[in-house]
Amino acid sequence: MKLSRINLNLLVVLDILLQEKHVTKASEKLHVTQSTVSSALNQLRELFNDELLIREKNQMVLTPKAENLAKKLHLCLNQLQNTISNEIGFNPQTAEITFRLAMDDCLECLLLPELNQYLSQHAPKIKCEILHATAISENLFLKSEAIDLAIGSLNHNSHFLKHEKLYVEHFVCAARKDHPLLKHPLTLTDYLQSEHLSLTSPLAQAHDITDLALSKLRETRNITLNVTHTSTALYLLVSSNLLATLPYTFFRKAQPLLDLSCQELPFTVEDIPIYQVWHAQTDIDLSHRWLREVVKNILQPQLQ
């Protein structure tokens, strides 16, 4: 099959169909009629000699060939778009792009208020979609709705991922401002005997490294409550005697809004480097380089 014989617009339709798995939703996203997408799907089925989308119970699912295409096609089309964009040039004031970012909700609190304000002033047509992710993995960049940038801790390197360290996260013990234990230097005995709030997500790694540090001392925390959202955790901290081990950057962001206080932990917990991570295919793309610079300029000054 020669590329010159293929209507490349069909591949754009296929990319959206593989993401949406729904003809009507794909037509809405492409801003064309449903019949146009249906006609394109018929041509694609003939082209690939495969059904691509089949009905199973009450939903459309991808065939194995379509699953394989979905992993590759989106990245290829992105690379083509990046090449064209670089040749034309990038102007954030006029560019119409939607970036997909992945991070946990602590980083959402740190980044998104300033990012939203910056975009509204300097890049009004650029939008962001946020994917909640507690860990950075290769899979985030491979699926059909692949993200453009992930921010968080990086546990492994990959040959197709690039990264840049933004800062190093330090952890502290936080509680309500008038908590009696924080009126004097916190001891390990006080820490262990207190009731603790644990964020199982998105601070899964903070949870792990805290308990790993304590296990080296052959000690454990008295965790009486596990929650999954930082907003819930903050509300519980200001209205209870619970202690929580939190990233200091997040605590500092929340502290002016709430009656919270913090102290250094009475034992050593490893600091965690925070990275921004992207696919190698977007490394030289002007719009992606611009986004990464904006993210770095927002996050790094907050640590000073």
pLDDT in tens, 270-287: 898 899 999 888 888 888
- Assign 261 a pLDDT band (cuts: 50, 70, 90): very high
Question: What is the mean predicted confidence (pLDDT) over 129-149?
Answer: 79
Residue 29 pLDDT: 81
- Assign 200 a pLDDT band (cuts: 50, 70, 90): low
- For 236, residues 6+ apart whose C-beta sits below 8 A from its C-beta are 197, 225, 227, 242
Domain limits, the chain: 3-88, 98-168+273-303, 171-270
> For the chain, what is the mean pLDDT?
85
CA torsion sign for 88, 90, 91, 95 is: positive
Residue 99 pLDDT: 93
Residue 198 has pLDDT above 80, yes or no: yes
98-168+273-303 and 171-270: identical CATH topology: yes
DSSP, collapsed to helix, strand or coil, labels residue 99 as strand
Residue 302 pLDDT: 58
Residue 228 pLDDT: 79
Question: What is the mean predicted confidence (pLDDT) over 38-51?
Answer: 90
Question: What is the mean predicted confidence (pLDDT) over 131-151?
Answer: 79
pTM higher than 0.75 for the full model?
Answer: no
Amino acid identity for residue 98 in this structure: T
Query: Is the CB of residue 288 less than 8 Å from the CB of residue 282?
Result: yes
Residue 145 has pLDDT above 90, yes or no: no
Q: What Å distances lie between residue 210 and 31, 213, 253, 262, CA to CA?
A: 50, 5, 21, 16
Residue 203 pLDDT: 42
- Assign 202 a pLDDT band (cuts: 50, 70, 90): very low
Quickly count: other Cβ atoms within 10 Å of residue 249's Cβ.
20
Question: What is the mean predicted confidence (pLDDT) over 56-61?
Answer: 84
Question: What is the mean predicted confidence (pLDDT) over 97-114?
Answer: 90
Residue 234 pLDDT: 87
Residue 85 pLDDT: 65
Residue 21 pLDDT: 87
What is the percent of the chain where pLDDT is above 70?
A: 90
Q: How many helices (H) does the chain have, and how many strands (E)? A: 10, 12
| Most confident range, picked from 11-25, 170-184, 290-304 | 170-184
CATH number of 171-270, picked from 3.10.580.10, 3.40.50.970, 3.40.190.10, 1.10.760.10: 3.40.190.10
Q: Which residue has the tokens 């202690």?
A: 243
Residue 144 has pLDDT above 70, yes or no: no
Query: Is the CB of residue 44 less than 8 Å from the CB of residue 7?
Result: no
In CATH, what is the architecture of 3-88?
A: Orthogonal Bundle (1.10)
Residue 112 pLDDT: 93
The CATH fold assigned to 98-168+273-303 is: D-Maltodextrin-Binding Protein; domain 2 (3.40.190)
Query: Is the CB of residue 236 less than 8 Å from the CB of residue 197?
Result: yes
- Using CB atoms within 10 Å of the CB of residue 267, give its burial: 0 to 12 exposed, 13 to 18 middle, 19+ buried: middle
- Using CB atoms within 10 Å of the CB of residue 146, give its burial: 0 to 12 exposed, 13 to 18 middle, 19+ buried: buried
Calpha distance 208→200 (Å, rounded): 9
- For 167, residues 6+ apart whose C-beta sits below 8 A from its C-beta are 249, 273, 274, 299, 300, 303
Query: Is the CB of residue 103 less than 8 Å from the CB of residue 276?
Result: no
